[in-house]
Amino acid sequence: MKTPSLCKRAFAGLATVLLFSFVPAAPLSGGSRIEPDSEFREIARGIDLFGDIYRELSANYVEPLDVSALMYAAIDGMLAALDPYTVFLDESQSEELGELTSGQYTGIGISMARFSGKIYVTSVLDGYPAGKAGIRTGDRIVQINSRPVRGKTLDEIREMIKGTSGTSLTMKIEREGGRSPGVLSLSREEVRVSTVSYAGIIGRTGYIELGSFTSHSTEDIRQAVEKLLRQASGDRQPMNGLVFDLRGNPGGLLTAAVEISSLFVEKGSTVVTIRGRTPESEKIYKTEQLPLAAGLPLAVLINRESASAAEIVSGAIQDLDRGVVLGERSYGKGLVQSVVRLPYDNTLKLTTAKYYTPSGRLIQKSRSDSASVRDVLRKNHDPKALPVYYTTGKRKVYGGGGIAPDVTVQGVERSEYEQELRSKGLIFLFAAHYRAQHPAAPDKPIGQAALMEAFAGFLRQEKFSFTSAPERRLGELEESIRTEQAGSGIGAPKSIEGLKLELADLKRKKIEGESGRVARLLELEIMRHYNETESRKAELSDDPVFQRALTLLADPKAYSRMLRP
């Protein structure tokens, strides 16, 4: 099982933007003497008022209340008025926070997803219990320790799998086609998830994809770079550069971002500066070791989901003119969180500082608050200001709203139809169905016409029906008209039926136009079910951002002009 998801109540919608940065927090000591100033009196009044409301609700609300859940809801509501990253974590969430930042957990080495009410294995880590037992991508989990998993959430299933290292569990597995593994006995062990999703040499260019920033990420990157350098030396074909892919990387530990930056930039370089409410809270993080690949041309890839620690690294590489940043503007999270341990094994993840890139940029994007949320922040700056800063080589860069790439390249946008196929797991399920019928990996490329014909039959079998956004809006309009004219004897306008036919025809043509793209997605997913590494390598050949980076690194003059205009 890969890194577990955090509790939805505390982290809904935040999974892709969290920065778990640990900086020393001021101890919360009840014995410290606080001067009775105006702010302290306001705090005391607030605590009294909160206590009165809490007691009144607990004693007199019309329905019986879970007073513990009520307290947690009150805390969540209070923190929601601040920023999305200041959150309260209960005991179970605090444990998961530790697993996320360490990249380690006790389990069997699989990731899972739910499709059509069933639990499927979506990935298997080599060398861990699940892989050793013969479990493979596409298998269905039916029971754990003789308990059915149907109807249970993924979090509940993860809890069933987790346990003490060395203890055993049984798992009933079903596999489409061929012989099902049946009931397997597995022994839990410490699983160490590498944060390097993929690394390899493509042509003469090295490529490393980093998924997150944990306590092991620096060593993961170091080993990946050293392996690529050894491979290039063995092939007697020096690399012309390295592509460092941080797209979709939600961030992680601040220290990991600094250490990873030190693998590429000169010793003693400023990577990031953090500043809290007081001048003495400022801390400058500099690299403390000689770089591993100092002279190797570097291209960093980012997109709208590259956040926090990923922005620290890409911002430092850009500001120090160490490499070229390509892709889309990053997420824009310039806030640092401290972890404060609370009584009863609870945790407060509290925003305590802002971070600044080497040129002095604050890349936190402007906040767009809901009018229903009370504004508790004291405004002392203009959020619309985007000041100009300069890199080491005097190139202009701008603060606010994330890291703007040196070369803007749009990634492949997923169409509405593709998103629907993915959300229902139909591309994944078809690949599992295909592998059940083809024990050996197919020759590449797989015939597109035959593949799409088989997929069309599979969609009919699954009773898949796609409704486009215009069709949904027309349906809402039709329903509104029916409601408005109910009892009047007047039906919906005949023009609605004509529009339905036109939209259906338009949808059919758009789906037909996407057949090449869908066929390629099917081929890549089928390849992944046999070999994830080969699938990822093939996927990069279709990647416009990566291909643009390859072109740039293959042209030393163009690369140099980009950094020294």
Contact between residue 128 and residue 108 where contact means Cβ atoms under 8 Å apart: yes
DSSP category for residue 329:
-
Q: Find the radius of gyration of the CA atoms of the chain.
A: 27
Q: Which residue among the candidates 2, 172, 333, 507 is catalytic per the annotation? A: 333
| DSSP H helical ranges for 103-216 | 129-132, 154-161
User: Could you give the strand order of the β-sheet that contains 298-302, starting from the edge strand earlier in sequence?
Assistant: 196-202, 205-210, 241-245, 298-302, 324-327, 407-408
| Catalytic residue from among 212, 261, 262, 308 | 308
Is 333 one of the catalytic residues? yes
Determine the 3-state secondary structure of 536 from DSSP.
helix
Which listed residue (90, 139, 220, 319) is catalytic? Answer: 319
In 84-93, which positions are buried (b, 16+ CB within 10 angstroms) versus exposed (e)?
A: bbbbbbbeeb
* 59: its two tokens: 């004693």
**What Cα–Cα distance (Å) separates residue 274 from each residue in 21, 24, 312, 385?**
11, 12, 11, 20
DSSP 415: P
Q: Are 225 and 242 in contact (CB under 8 A)?
A: yes
Q: Establish whether 510 is a catalytic residue.
A: no
CA 378/CA 397 separation, integer angstroms: 28
**DSSP code for 365:** P
State how far the Cα of 551 lies from the Cα of 203, in Å rounded to an integer.
11
Exposed / middle / buried, residue 230 (Cβ in 10 Å: 0-12, 13-18, 19+): exposed
CA-to-CA separations, 173 to 114, 134, 158, 548, in angstroms, rounded: 15, 10, 16, 43
List the catalytic residues: 308, 319, 333
